[in-house]
Amino acid sequence: METTVDTALAPPARRRLARRSAREEPAWVRLALIFIALAFLLLFLFAPLAAVFAGAFRKGWEAYIASIIEPDAWSAIKLTLLAAGIAVPLNLIFGVAAAWAIAKFEFRGKSLLITLIDLPFSVSPVVSGLIYVLIFGLQGWFGPSLHEHDIKIIFAVPGIVLATMFVTFPFVARELIPLMQAQGTEEEEAAVVLGANGWQIFWRVTLPNIKWGLLYGVILCNARAMGEFGAVSVVSGHVRGLTNTMPLHVEILYNEYNFAAAFAVASLLALLALVTLALKTLVEWLGREQINRGQA
């Protein structure tokens, strides 16, 4: 639209020149800023990423494969998948429910709920883990009665799942709340007027509107669930082959100076991060397409 106005009002070249000098810096400033930005990103982001893969393949393909299919690494991979497999779906349900309640209804204590949802983001992961030790650990509130019934939560798999759930709690809800608030309640109200029931409204009206935001939240939630270190480290007890997740296994290998193997397992997690970023970019793009189509 702007270009048509431009050509109608003024000689296009002159007009464009004026626009450019008002909005743009001299070429040397531009190049210098791009150089500074890329150099900074190279030192702090790209080089570490490259270092992971360089470290992983330092001893060649065979050593790489060997350190991944080795039994302890394998059980760490399975435990990580299990923890994420439980934590992500549960947080998905919780996140949708919380965002639905916050965005579509008015109730007392709403802002308290929003603050509570954000809490895991601002609490140190170490403190998050400690909270579970204080509740379920042997010296904790429920510790003695759990011990009587021979239920182990801390230094066992349930503790790892709980800690993972806690730190990934906000991702889905945080993504959906602003989205659902921005969409308002008109479409749902129209559906009610047309006679739809609660489920129908959710599946036919709300869910299609939030699907990209939801997917985005789930992707980030999953990445954090598989990569969590601090909180899981406190509750895990680090039993090789039993309560080690992938990040904890990386730590053990690294501390044993088994660098090639540590980086090999780490490279799987780095690959997960790259897939996460690719999916995230794709979902962002698809979400924008949906918005553009909606406006057209």
Region 142-171 residues binding other proteins, contact defined as CB under 8 A: none
Stretch that binds other proteins, among 67-75, 93-101, 188-196, 244-252 (CB under 8 A): 244-252
Considering the rule CB under 8 A, would residue 197 count as an interface residue with other proteins? no
Considering the rule CB under 8 A, would residue 262 count as an interface residue with other proteins? yes
The answer to whether the CB of 62 falls within 8 A of the CB of 260 is: no
Considering the rule CB under 8 A, would residue 217 count as an interface residue with other proteins? no
184 or 198: CB nearest other proteins: 184
DSSP character at residue 25: -
User: 263: how many CB neighbours lie within 10 A of its CB?
Assistant: 24
Considering the rule CB under 8 A, would residue 88 count as an interface residue with other proteins? no
How many CA atoms lie less than 13 Å away from 48 in the CB half-sphere?
Answer: 8
163 or 201: CB nearest other proteins: 163
188 or 228: CB nearest other proteins: 228
Considering the rule CB under 8 A, would residue 97 count as an interface residue with other proteins? no
The answer to whether the CB of 95 falls within 8 A of the CB of 176 is: yes
Question: What are the backbone dihedrals phi and psi of residue 118, each rounded to the nearest 5 degrees, phi first?
Answer: -75, -15
DSSP character at residue 139: T
Considering the rule CB under 8 A, would residue 92 count as an interface residue with other proteins? no
- Give the nearest distance from C-beta 203 to other proteins in angstroms: 30
String marking each residue 47-86 x if it binds other proteins according to CB under 8 A = xxx-xx--x-------------------------------
Considering the rule CB under 8 A, would residue 33 count as an interface residue with other proteins? yes
User: 158: how many CB neighbours lie within 10 A of its CB?
Assistant: 15
Instruction: Please give the radius of gyration of the chain, using alpha carbons only, rounded to the nearest integer.
Output: 25
Contacts of 58 (CB under 8 A, 6+ apart): 259, 260, 263
Considering the rule CB under 8 A, would residue 292 count as an interface residue with other proteins? no
The runs of H, that is alpha helices, within the chain are: 2-9, 12-23, 27-41, 47-56, 60-69, 71-104, 110-122, 125-136, 143-148, 157-168, 170-183, 186-193, 198-200, 207-227, 230-236, 246-255, 259-295
Under DSSP, is residue 292 helix (H, G, I), strand (E, B) or coil?
helix
Name residue, tokens 């204080």: 134
- Give the nearest distance from C-beta 153 to other proteins in angstroms: 16
User: 248: how many CB neighbours lie within 10 A of its CB?
Assistant: 23
Considering the rule CB under 8 A, would residue 124 count as an interface residue with other proteins? yes
Stretch that binds other proteins, among 4-12, 32-40, 70-78, 209-217 (CB under 8 A): 32-40
Considering the rule CB under 8 A, would residue 289 count as an interface residue with other proteins? no
Considering the rule CB under 8 A, would residue 211 count as an interface residue with other proteins? no
The answer to whether the CB of 243 falls within 8 A of the CB of 79 is: yes
Considering the rule CB under 8 A, would residue 44 count as an interface residue with other proteins? yes
Q: For other proteins, which residue of 8, 9, 22, 112 counts as binding (CB under 8 A)?
A: 22
33 or 97: CB nearest other proteins: 33
Q: For other proteins, which residue of 5, 7, 14, 24 counts as binding (CB under 8 A)?
A: 24
Report how many residues bind other proteins under the rule CB under 8 A.
Answer: 71
- Give the nearest distance from C-beta 260 to other proteins in angstroms: 11
